[in-house]
Amino acid sequence: MIIAAEHLSKWYGHVSGLNDVTVSVPEGITGLLGPNGAGKSTFMKIVTGQLRPSTGSVRVFGEPIWGNPSQYRRLGFCPEQDAFYEHMTGMQWVEALAMLHGMSHDAAETAARHALDAVDLLDVGDRKIGAYSRGMRQRVKLAQAIVHEPQLLILDEPLSGMDPIMRRRTIRLIKDWAHAGRSVVVSSHVLHEIEAMTANILLMHNGRVVAEGNVHQIRGLIDAHPHRVSIRAEQPRALAQQLLAGDDVSSVRLDGDAVIVETPRPDSFYARLTGIAASGEAGAVDEVTSPDDNLQAVFSYLVKP
Amino acid sequence: MPVHDQGYRHYTGERTLHGRGWWVIARAGLADRLHERRFLGLLLFAWSLFVVRAVQLYIGQTLARGILFAPSEQTFQLFLDQQRLFVFFITIYAGAGLIASDRQSHALQIYLSKPITRNDYIAGKLLTLAIFLVAVTWMPAMLLLVLQVLFSGSLAFVADHPRLVPAITLASALQVALAVVTMVALSSLSASRRFAAMLYAAIAIFAAAIARVLQASTGHAGWVLLSPESTLLAVNDAIFGAGSDAAVPLPIAIGALAAVFAACIVILERRVRAVDVVA
Amino acid sequence: MTAPLFGPARRVFELALGEMLRARRTAFMALAAGAPILIAILARLSVVNGTAVLTVNGSRIGTQAMFETAVSVLYLRFIVPALGVFYGTSLIADEVEDKTITYLFTRPIARGAIVLGKYLAYLLCVAAVVLPSLALVFLIMVPFQNMGPLFGTLLGDLGILALGLAAYGAVFLWAGVWFKRPLVGGLVFVFGWEPLALVLPGYLRYLTIAHYLQAGAPGVASAIAIAAAAVILSMRTIESREYVLEQ
C-alpha cells in the first residue's frame, strides 16, 4: 500500500475536517471522490505533509510524512489553489522548483522542458504565468508536480478550468503515468472523469470514507438499495408480467418500450431473465442495461443526505 | 422546458432604488471588520485617550477648579492630534485590504459585473473606513465637548468658542478624508494588502520624518509639504486659530492636500477596473 | 531524520534573491535608502550656500555633525527598523497569504532551510541597498579632509547598520512566521514601543533592539545573539507550525 492512514482525524477548531479515517491506498490510480467539504483536500494536505493529523497516523511509502521532507523526492503535489509567482515565466517557475529538488541548473532546465512538453506548454514556456489562461495555469501546476518524476502524484482537482480537449489529454496523461509505474491519487467531483481514469475509488462524505475499492464491487455491496435494470423488449407488458412472477423483483414499471425493474438479488434475476429471453415467451429482448452499475449511482446512494 | 415549469419564481421581495450599491458595499465592509475581536479591541483602545481627557475635564470643573485642566480650543486640537496614532493603526488594519483583497481574490470583476458603478464601489469602500475613523476622531471630540458642557453646567464654553464645533468637524473631516482616500488609493495599487499597508506607513511615517529633517537642515519651511500628515497639521493650526511653526501659507498647504486628493482619485480611476492588463 | 540544511537553504536563497530583485517593493526599498542621499545633497548645498540653520547649543553644525545625526536618527531609528519590519514580516507571511508556500513545503527541503534561505536573501538585498546609501551620504556630507580620519567610524557605522538590519529582520521574520498579521504589531513595536522604552528609566530599554545598537561593543554581541536566536526560533517555529491556507 502506498498510503496508509489509521484512525486519521483532523479538526480545524470545532470543525471536523476528517473523522476517524482508516484507509489504504494501493498502487495505481485512485480516484478520490466526494462533494465539496467532504474532506478530500484535507486528506490530500495531510498526505502531503502540509497539515498534521489531530489524531491517528498516516504513512506514505511506509514512512510518516509530517516533518519528513526527504519523502517529497518521491511525491508530486498539484494543489487546488490558483497560486503562482505570477511574474515568472512558466519555464522559470518549473525550473526553479526543480532546482529545489537538488537538480543542477542544466538538469533542472532539461527536466522543466520535458515537464512543460508533457502538458503541452513548451511553446508558451517563455510567457509570464500572469498572462496564462486558466487552463494553462492548471497545466503549469501539473508540470511542477511531475518535473522531478515522482513515484506518487497527488492531484487535487487537476482538470478544473481545462477545456474538453485538454481534459481528455490530461486524463490520458494520467493513465500513461500510471502505466509507467507511477501511482496517482486524483480528486474530483466530476464523476465521469474519475470513471474515465480508474475504477478504484475512495468515496468521502462529511470527513469520513463511505466506500473504497472497485466501483462495481461497491455497487454490489449496497444491498439496501435494489439494483435497477432497464430491459427494452418487443412485448414489454408480457415481459413485465413474467418478471413479476418471481420473488427476486421488488418493483416493475413500464417506460415506453422498456421495462424498469428493481431487484434486490441481481444474480438470481439475471439468471431468470436469461431463461425468459431464451424461451421467447415474452417476445424478443432487445437490450438490457443497468443504469445503476456506475459511479453516479454509487455516489448518489452513499452521499444522499 | 419553460422556466416556470422548473420551479423558478420571480423575486418578489423588496428592491432598493438603483444607486444604493455603495451602502451595500459599505455595510458588508463594516460587518466584516466588526466580527473581528482584535479590531473591536483596537477601536475600544482608541477611546482610551477620551477617557483620560474626560477625567481631566471633570477634575478641572469640579475638584481642582483650577487652570491646570481648564479646557481651551487647543485642548480639542491636541486631542485630535493625539488621536492620529489610532487613526494610523485603524487605517492600516481596516483599510489596507479594502481593495487589495478584492483584487487578490478576483472579486473586483464580480463586483463590477453587478449593476453598480465604479463610483458606487469606490464610495462604498471609502465609507467603510471613514465610519471607523469618524468613530475615533469626530465622535470622541464632540463627546468631550458635550461632557465639558455637562460638567460645567452651562453652555458658556461653547458660546465663548463659537468656532469650536465647526473647527472640530472640519479638522476631523480633513483628517479622516486624507487617511481614507490615501489608504483606499494605495490599496487599489496592489493585490497584497501587506504591500498597501507598507506604502501607507511609508508615506505617513517616512515622509513626515524626511520632511522634518529637510526642514531642520535647510531651514526651509516648505519641505513640510512633502508630508501630507505634516501639511494637515499646518492646516489644523489655521482651523483652530493656533500659530504655526511651519509658517507655510494656508492656501499652499490646502493646495498641497488637494493635490494629494487629486492624485489618489486619479489612481482610483485608473486601478479600479474589471480588467487587468498583464504585460 | 534531520534533513540537510545549508545546501537547500542556498537553493531557496537563490530563488528568493531573484524574487526580491524582481519585486516592485524592492523599488520602495531603494527609495527609502535614496531619501537620505537626497537630504545629504540638499544639506550640503545649504551649508555651501550659507542657508543651513541646524544648530546645537546655539552653534551652527556642519555637515559632518549632520552625518553623525543622520546615522543615529535617520538610519538607526527609521530606515533600518522600517525595512526590518516591512521586509522581515513579509518573508514567510507573503508566501502564506499568496498561497505559494505550498510549493516550498512540498519540496525535499527542511522548512527551516526555507526560512534561512529567505532571511539570507533579505539580508543581502537590504544590505546591498542601505550600506552603499550610507557610504554615499558619508562622501557627500563629510569634508574631504576629514574622510581619512573618519573612515574607521564609517566602517563601524556600516557594521552597526548591517547588524541592525540583521536583528530587526530576524525578529520580524519570526513575527511573520508566527502571526497572521505581523505588520501592525511590528510598526507598534518599532515606532511606538522602542521610542518610549528608550526614554523611560529602568530596564525597559533592554526590551528593545535599538538599545543594543546604540550600546557600543557589548551591545554588538547582544544584537548578534538576538538575530541568531530569532532566526533559530523562526526555523523551529516553522517546522512545527501548520499553515491552513484560506480557501
Domain ranges of chain A: 3-220, 224-292
- Whether the CB-CB separation of C138 and C71 falls below 8 Å is answered with no
d(CA A19, CA A210): 11
- Structural domain boundaries, residue C24: 9-240
Instruction: Say whether C54 and B92 touch across the interface (CB within 8 A).
Output: no
The reply to whether C216 touches chain B by the CB within 8 Å rule is no
Name chain B contacts of C90, Cβ cutoff 8 Å.
Answer: 194, 198
Predicted local distance difference test score (pLDDT) of residue A166? 85
Residue in A12, A67, A72 closest to C106 by CB: A72
Q: What is the mean pLDDT of residues C87-92?
A: 91
Indicate if A224-292 has the same CATH topology as A3-220. no
Predicted local distance difference test score (pLDDT) of residue A33? 87
Q: Which of A234-238, A255-259, A284-288, B274-278 has the lowest mean pLDDT?
A: B274-278
Q: Which of A161-170, A249-258, A267-276, B11-20 has the lowest mean pLDDT?
A: B11-20
Predicted local distance difference test score (pLDDT) of residue C57? 56
Phi, psi of A233 (to 5 degrees): -135, 160
Contacts across the A-B interface (CB distance below 8 Å)? 6
- What is the CATH class of A224-292? alpha beta
Q: Indicate if the pLDDT at residue A45 is higher than 80.
A: yes
Residue of B nearest to A81 (CA): B105
- Whether the CB-CB separation of A236 and A221 falls below 8 Å is answered with no
Instruction: Say whether C108 and A101 touch across the interface (CB within 8 A).
Output: yes
Angle subtended by helix axes A105-118 and A134-146, to nearest 10: 130
Neighbours of chain C (3+ CB pairs under 8 A): A, B
β-bridge partners, C91: none
Instruction: Say whether B213 and C188 touch across the interface (CB within 8 A).
Output: no
Smallest CA–CA separation between B141 and chain C, in Å? 23
Q: Indicate if the pLDDT at residue B279 is higher than 60.
A: no
Smallest CA–CA separation between A248 and chain B, in Å? 36
Q: Indicate if the pLDDT at residue A200 is higher than 50.
A: yes
Q: Indicate if the pLDDT at residue B36 is higher than 50.
A: yes
Q: What is the mean pLDDT of residues C5-28?
A: 84
**Mean residue pLDDT across chain B:** 86
Predicted local distance difference test score (pLDDT) of residue C35? 84
Give how many domains chain C has, as a whole number.
1
Helices (H), C23-110: 25-49, 63-69, 80-98, 101-105
Name chain A contacts of B278, Cβ cutoff 8 Å.
Answer: 86, 128, 130-131
Predicted local distance difference test score (pLDDT) of residue C168? 96
Q: Which of A236-245, B13-22, B43-52, B148-157 has the lowest mean pLDDT?
A: B13-22
Predicted local distance difference test score (pLDDT) of residue C1? 41
Predicted local distance difference test score (pLDDT) of residue B277? 60
Instruction: Say whether B194 and C192 touch across the interface (CB within 8 A).
Output: no
β-bridge partners, A208: A205
Contacts of B73 (CB under 8 A, 6+ apart): B161, B163, B164, B167, B240, B241, B242
Cell readout for B82 is 493625539
Contacts across the B-C interface (CB distance below 8 Å)? 79
Q: What is the mean pLDDT of residues A133-158?
A: 93
Q: Which 154-213 residues of chain C touch chain A by CB within 8 A? A: none
The reply to whether B275 touches chain A by the CB within 8 Å rule is no
The reply to whether C109 touches chain A by the CB within 8 Å rule is yes
The pTM of this model reads 0.82
Instruction: Say whether C28 and B85 touch across the interface (CB within 8 A).
Output: no
Name chain C contacts of B198, Cβ cutoff 8 Å.
Answer: 25, 28, 86, 90, 183
Q: Indicate if the pLDDT at residue B28 is higher than 80.
A: yes
For chain B, list the strands marked E by DSSP. Answer: none
Phi, psi of A39 (to 5 degrees): 115, 10
CB atoms inside a 10 Å sphere around CB C24:
11
Helices (H), chain A: 40-47, 90-99, 105-118, 134-146, 164-179, 191-197, 215-221, 236-244, 266-279, 295-303
Instruction: Give the DSSP H/E element, type plus range, for residue A200.
Output: strand A200-205
Name chain C contacts of B194, Cβ cutoff 8 Å.
Answer: 89-90, 93-94, 97, 183
Smallest CA–CA separation between B15 and chain C, in Å? 32
Q: Indicate if the pLDDT at residue C120 is higher than 70.
A: yes
- Whether the CB-CB separation of B187 and B96 falls below 8 Å is answered with yes
Residue of B nearest to C53 (CA): B219
Instruction: Say whether C78 and B219 touch across the interface (CB within 8 A).
Output: no
Residue in C25, C42, C181 closest to B218 by CB: C42
Q: Indicate if the pLDDT at residue C167 is higher than 60.
A: yes
The reply to whether C224 touches chain A by the CB within 8 Å rule is no
Instruction: Say whether A100 and C100 touch across the interface (CB within 8 A).
Output: no
Residue C169 lies in a domain: yes
The reply to whether C239 touches chain A by the CB within 8 Å rule is yes
Length of chain A: 305
- Which DSSP category does A37 fall into? T
Name chain A contacts of B279, Cβ cutoff 8 Å.
Answer: 128, 131
Predicted local distance difference test score (pLDDT) of residue C247? 61
Angle subtended by helix axes B193-201 and C25-49, to nearest 10: 10
Instruction: Say whether B214 and C42 touch across the interface (CB within 8 A).
Output: yes
d(CA A109, CA A94): 8
The reply to whether B159 touches chain A by the CB within 8 Å rule is no
**CATH code reported for the domain at A3-220:** 3.40.50.300
Predicted local distance difference test score (pLDDT) of residue C174? 95
Q: What is the mean pLDDT of residues B227-252?
A: 81
Instruction: Say whether C102 and A67 touch across the interface (CB within 8 A).
Output: no
Residue of A nearest to C21 (CA): A87
Beta strands A200-205; A183-188: pairing state: unpaired
d(CA B251, CA A124): 56
- Using one digit for the tens of pLDDT, what is the confidence trace for B77-136? 999 999 999 999 999 999 999 999 998 888 888 888 888 888 899 999 999 999 999 999
Q: What is the mean pLDDT of residues C172-199?
A: 89
User: ipTM of this predicted complex?
Assistant: 0.82
Q: Which of A85-99, B12-26, B186-200 has the lowest mean pLDDT?
A: B12-26
Residue C135 lies in a domain: yes
| Chain centre distance of CA A100 | 29
Residue of B nearest to C61 (CA): B217
- Which DSSP category does C2 fall into? P
Q: Indicate if the pLDDT at residue C134 is higher than 50.
A: yes
Predicted local distance difference test score (pLDDT) of residue C110? 92
Smallest CA–CA separation between A71 and chain C, in Å? 7
In terms of Cα–Cα distance, which of B237, B55, B236 is closest to B144? B55
Name chain B contacts of C51, Cβ cutoff 8 Å.
Answer: 218-220
In terms of Cα–Cα distance, which of A155, A147, A82, A156 is closest to C99? A82
The residue that leads in pLDDT, C181 or C56, is: C181
Q: Domain locations in chain B?
A: 18-271
**Mean residue pLDDT across chain A:** 88
The reply to whether B279 touches chain A by the CB within 8 Å rule is yes
d(CA A230, CA A288): 6
Q: Indicate if the pLDDT at residue C51 is higher than 80.
A: no
The reply to whether C187 touches chain B by the CB within 8 Å rule is yes
Q: What is the DSSP string of B213-227?
A: HHHHHH--GGGGGG-
Smallest CA–CA separation between C94 and chain B, in Å? 8
Residue of C nearest to B206 (CA): C78
Phi, psi of A51 (to 5 degrees): -120, 150
Q: What percent of chain A has pLDDT over 70?
A: 92
Residue of A nearest to C16 (CA): A96
Q: What is the mean pLDDT of residues C109-134?
A: 93
